[in-house]
Amino acid sequence: MTVSFEGRVAIVTGAGNGLGRSHALELARRGAKVVVNDLGGARDGSGASSDAAQEVVALIEEMGGEAIAHGANVAKFDEVQDMVKQTMDKWGRVDILINNAGILRDKSFAKMDLADFQLVMDVHVMGSVNCTKAVWDIMREQNYGRIVMTTSSSGMYGNFGQTNYGAAKMAVLGFMNTLVLEGAKNDIRINALAPTAGTRMTEDLMPPEILNMLKPEAVTAGALTLCHDDAPNRLILCAGAGGYASTRLFETEGVFIPEQEQSPEAVLAKWDAVCDTADQSELESGAKQSEKFLTKAMAYVQSQQ
């Protein structure tokens, strides 16, 4: 099948450089009208400039596409609302949102100022929340929406010096999991991308020969897979250097311990069974965990009658 975005309107945040730039250009090549959002700050979030976003718009227009630039700071809801209003005024719909904007303030937790923790959370988490909130009712009314969160292996698995970034990148997965349930009836599909790429965010963390393998285009192929008409839903896609994989959260089947026996000692005595992955499963919602445990409890009660 050929993936096309003809007739679709996409907003890509942090699209002046790196991954966002790559996402915006490829969406445009495949027919989408694109809002190139970029505050134009440094990778630590300082400063602002519209030059990078305007350059991406010019490149899209040169290829015959349609695009506008907007410098909204995603951490400020009023600026995001203005961006979405301009999009609606120009094109009348929003089909795709790629929450890509991000910053780094790396330090070990012992040395980290809490202001640096808060700022990273504001940009990555509240930035994704603000942009999603601003388009949510639009997508519900048109009964169509595709949203991509940007997560990270730093959140899912940890990375030294990135408690703030890791916490933020796990938070957007929790956000996604519930949005999926709330958006299902209106064909709003939400997925997450975990990229590994050579960008401004990583340029001084890796040697040039490695950076050359980590081209943003490989990640963009994954991003567009998550936001076309036949996109999956609630998938975490990991992409980088030509590698593609999915990450999933599984829960073991676990055990039941009767009320009169419940103690740390009893849990430890059954620890191997608690952690046994043989019958693990992916739960559709938090309620499914409660349902599983209550089913075990009721089965025990019935066995005692």
Where in the sequence numbering do the catalytic residues fall?
165
The 3-class secondary structure across the chain, one letter per residue, is: CCCCCCCCEEEECCCCCHHHHHHHHHHHHCCCEEEEECCCCCCCCCCCCCHHHHHHHHHHHHCCCCEEEECCCCCCHHHHHHHHHHHHHHHCCCCEEEECCCCCCCECCCCCCHHHHHHHHHHHHHHHHHHHHHHHHHHHHHCCEEEEEECCHHHHHCCCCEHHHHHHHHHHHHHHHHHHHHHHHHCEEEEEEEECCCCCCCCCCCCHHHHCCCCHHHHHHHHHHCCCCCCCCCCEEEEECCEEEEECCCECCCCCCCHHHCCHHHHHHCHHHHHCCCCCECCCCHHHHHHHHHHHHHHHHHHCC
The strands making up 96-99's β-sheet, listed across from edge to edge, are 67-70, 33-37, 9-12, 96-99, 145-150, 188-195, 236-240, 243-247
Token duo for residue 305: 């009658």
CB 70 within 8 A of CB 57: no
- The number of angstroms, rounded, from the C-alpha of 264 to the middle of its chain's C-alpha atoms is 37
Token duo for residue 264: 């740390």
Token duo for residue 164: 């703030």
